[in-house]
């Protein structure tokens, strides 16, 4: 099993450009999450999806949109990138809201917006 995979690993964008970060998990998990981590900071939740077909805002959703394409895939879209969105983005998944305590994290996408 690959666990949680993210693409791309690195990306540089110009201000105003758009892009989609991809995340996939092969553990048959119901819940999936997108976090961002700024230098020297902890992780902040952007959006999450409790199950296929549902998405909800986290702590810092402004400037982002998400799509839970199917049970495996959860994408994060930046419609008009801004320098403040320069960060490392982590995707995570969890088996179920009620029976699993552990979130599994992907390796991250390092995004720079100039």
Partner 1 sequence: DAKTTQPPSMDCAEGRAANLPCNHSTISGNEYVYWYRQIHSQGPQYIIHGLKNNETNEMASLIITEDRKSSTLILPHATLRDTAVYYCIVRPDYGQNFVFGPGTRLSVLP
Which residues contribute to the site for partner 1 (CB under 8 A)? 4, 31, 33, 35, 37, 40-45, 48, 50, 56, 58-59, 88, 90, 92, 97-98, 101-108
In the complex, least distance from residue 69 CB atom to partner 1, rounded to whole angstroms: 20
Nearest distance, CB of residue 13 and partner 1, angstroms: 20
17 vs 65, which CB is nearer to partner 1? 65
Between 62 and 102, whose beta carbon lies closer to partner 1?
Answer: 102
Neighbouring CB atoms inside 10 A of 70's CB total 10
Instruction: Determine contact, residues 79/67, Cβ cutoff 8 Å.
Output: no
Q: Provide the 3-class DSSP secondary structure of residue 85.
A: helix
Listed residue (24, 109, 110) closest to 68, CA to CA: 24
């Amino acid at each position: 099993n690959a666990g949680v995979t993210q693409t791309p690993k690195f990306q540089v964008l110009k201000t105003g450009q758009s892009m989609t970060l991809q995340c996939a998990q092969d553990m048959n998990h119901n819940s999936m999450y997108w976090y961002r981590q700024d230098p020297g900071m902890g992780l902040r939740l952007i959006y999450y999806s409790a199950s296929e077909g549902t998405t909800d805002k986290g702590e810092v959703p402004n400037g982002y949109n998400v799509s839970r394409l199917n049970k495996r895939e959860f994408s994060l879209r930046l419609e008009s990138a801004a320098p403040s969105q320069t960060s490392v983005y982590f995707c995570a998944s969890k088996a179920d809201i009620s029976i699993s305590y552990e979130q599994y994290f992907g390796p991250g996408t390092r995004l720079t917006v100039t």
